[in-house]
Every structure is written in structure tokens, then in C-alpha cells.
Amino acid sequence: MGILEGKRLLVTGVLTDSSIAFSVAKLAQQEGAQIVLTGFGRLSLVERIAKRLPEPPPVLELDVTSTEHLDSLADRVGEHLGGLDGVVHAIGFAPQTALGGNFLNTSWEDVATAVQVSTYSFKSLAVAALPLMKEGGAIVGLDFDATKAWPVYDWMGVAKAGLESCSRYLARDLGKHGIRVNLVAAGPLRTMAAKSIPGFGEFEDSWPAKAPIGWDINDPIPAAKACVALLSDWFPATTGEIVHVDGGVHAIGA
């Protein structure tokens, strides 16, 4: 029996098969979960990618900046799963001007977009899913360590710092519903989101060398395993936590 046997999950953020969310969805199914995916924009692409999963799941449209999409989400997911035991938030976006060393010149409008899509949406998604989580459950988001100012990550770093804080407040407010809220802080992985960051190569070169146990930028499985573990019953007393899945880089100076 898998550690997610009987669990019903909503997994956001699948875009390609290198998406972290794709590996989470695949592992979750292998561990016994029933899942529904959401896709943003290029739905036919997401549907094609979904067919590569062990059991092709339904794909629902979700733009986390759309009140209409959020308001109807519980009903749309409910048609497929009835209820939810877990939600995965694997969503991030920042306009090009907010990345790559342009920190001092980024406009508020572009920062606002980054924060709405990458930070505030963690709360929006949690609230949208809440009516389906009557028996409690787990919400997991994807983080990039926001305790430091990194090269090129810029306003996305600020958005992730907000995500870390948002996760703690959600843990505070959803605890009474029996819902745990945690983040997985992954090291750099070669996905569409990562490739869109100008200068991302700097991370790719330095991270594996700094990591005490090494780091493979092409392997999202360690991060996906942590998500699956946090969605399972094996972290029953953990909430408001950030689990680092980065080869140990966060713990090392210089």
C-alpha cells in the first residue's frame, strides 16, 4: 500500500514533464492518490502532458489571478473527487523586468504581478479549496530559500519571502480545520520557470559544488518526494514548516 492510498489531491503547476508538479503528480499516483490537475493558459499542452502520467487525470483551468476561476474551483474539483485531502501549490511567475539584476528599477506594477501570482495565490488557492477539505488535510507549496539575497532572483526572492510568511499565517488560520500547511524549499531545477530567469545558469553551476550531498539540477524527484511525504499521514504534527530539499546548501556558509 502506498503512503497516499485513499487521498484525493489537487495538483497545480503542471506545464511540462520537467515541472516539479508533474513529478509530484506521478509519485502521488504511484503512492495511491487520486488526483486532479489544474493548468494555466496552455490547457491543451497540459492535457497532453497529463496523458504521460500513470493514470491520466482530469485537467481544470485555473488562473490564480481570476476570481471567477477561484470561486468555481471547489465545484469543478468536487465533480471529480467529491472532497480533497491535499493541495499542491506549484505556481510562480515574475515579469522579466523583476528578474536578472534589474532590482532597483522594477516598477510596482511588475512587482505586484509577481507577488499576486507567486505569493498571494497560496492564500487564494487554500481558501478556494477549503470547502472541499472538511476532514482536514495538507497543503504544500514550492519555495526557494528566501533567507538570502541571491544573484538574479530579485523580486521573485521577495515574493518567496512573502510566500514563507504566508505559509505560517495559513498554518495559523487553517490549523483549526485540521489542515497542515508546509513548504518545500527546493534547490535549482531546470524547469520552464527556471529557464525564464535571466542568469539562472549561475545557480546551475554553483549549487552542485556547494551542496554537501551534491545536487542534480535535472532531478525533481527529491523535491517531489518531500511534497508527497508532507501530503501523507507521516507528518501529522508538522505545520508552518519549510523542508529544505537542496542538497544541504541552506546549511552551509559561503
Q: Which residues bind ligand NAD (CB under 6 A)?
A: 13-16, 19-21, 40, 62-65, 90-93, 117, 142-144, 186, 188-189, 191-194
> Can you spell out the DSSP letters for 150-193?
-TTTHHHHHHHHHHHHHHHHHHHHHGGGTEEEEEEEE----SHH
- To ligand NAD, the closest distance from the beta carbon of 54 in angstroms equals 19
Nearer of residues 120 and 175 to ligand NAD, judged by Cβ: 120
Catalytic residue among 51, 120, 123, 153: 153
Nearer of residues 19 and 106 to ligand NAD, judged by Cβ: 19
- To ligand NAD, the closest distance from the beta carbon of 200 in angstroms equals 8
- To ligand NAD, the closest distance from the beta carbon of 59 in angstroms equals 11
CA 152 – CA 21 distance, rounded (Å):
23
Nearer of residues 16 and 30 to ligand NAD, judged by Cβ: 16
Q: Would you call 160 a catalytic residue per the annotation? A: yes
Specify the pairing of strand 34-39 against strand 86-89.
unpaired
Report whether 190 contacts 217 (CB < 8 A): yes
- To ligand NAD, the closest distance from the beta carbon of 212 in angstroms equals 18
Catalytic residue among 7, 51, 148, 160: 160
Question: Distance of CA 103 to CAs 112, 148, 222, Å?
Answer: 14, 14, 31
Nearer of residues 5 and 147 to ligand NAD, judged by Cβ: 147
- To ligand NAD, the closest distance from the beta carbon of 176 in angstroms equals 26
Report whether 201 contacts 101 (CB < 8 A): no
8: cell is 484525493
Nearest to 49 by CA among 197, 76, 40: 40
Report whether 93 contacts 121 (CB < 8 A): no
CA 161 – CA 245 distance, rounded (Å):
17
Nearer of residues 92 and 95 to ligand NAD, judged by Cβ: 92
Q: Annotated active-site positions, please?
A: 153, 160
